[in-house]
Structure 1
């Protein structure tokens, strides 16, 4: 697996619908062995997860990594908070942004990069209902235009 580039494990599609993503960051993760084995099998759910900064460290919560079914003992807790690894200057920048009203840290995707598990975090602002409707309307219009171009 080393040197093979990026292999996507999971995407958080719901995040792109619920939030407008303003900036994104790549973070490493502190994981146990059985968690990595479950990730290799694709047994993860990012849909309700979020990240918080506590005492200068970033943690991701509500990310469900299913227990590894072949582990005999010492299996991991599926919903435990997991520490994310970011540079100090990135964390300070994030603290400044999150203190502004309406910003939050949302996991966008999880992938293997050169054999290591990485998470793409998005600095996001929640969308209002009319923003979501506009996004759907624009997407449908683009799809219709592509369909017309394809016919011609």
Structure 2
């Protein structure tokens, strides 16, 4: 009689077990995604210093870096999800980095704009109005992890740019 072996899903692993993996460390937003409370919000906060470093670049260079953040993010998020055995684990916050940085594209100078961008991006990332929520539920893999945050950044960017024009 032939022995049957069950096919099992990968066992879910704690992010703290794998944080020494450089790709996971990046996917976890340099550890910010390991926050026990609101890891997406903490991950977005951790993206602010990166934005401040990139802010002086011209729009062309900034957009090139954004494209790299997105493409690299697909690979990082795919890897971390496989290692953890969970699609879009809360510790994976590279997508928040990408979404926040996209929100801040061509933002005006001044201390208030990174904060306004933070609030706008978090609102759309948490609420996930259509089509963001629809895409979030239907697109999987690293691309799926990244794309809903990119989509959340679009209305956040429009509102940020509108506020900058109105408030000058």
Do they superpose with TM above 0.5? no
TM-score range, shorter chain: under 0.3
More strand by share: 1
More helix by share: 2
Q: Report the TM-score when normalising by structure 1.
A: 0.25
Q: Whose relative contact order is higher, 1 or 2, with alpha carbons under 8 Å and at least 6 apart? A: 1
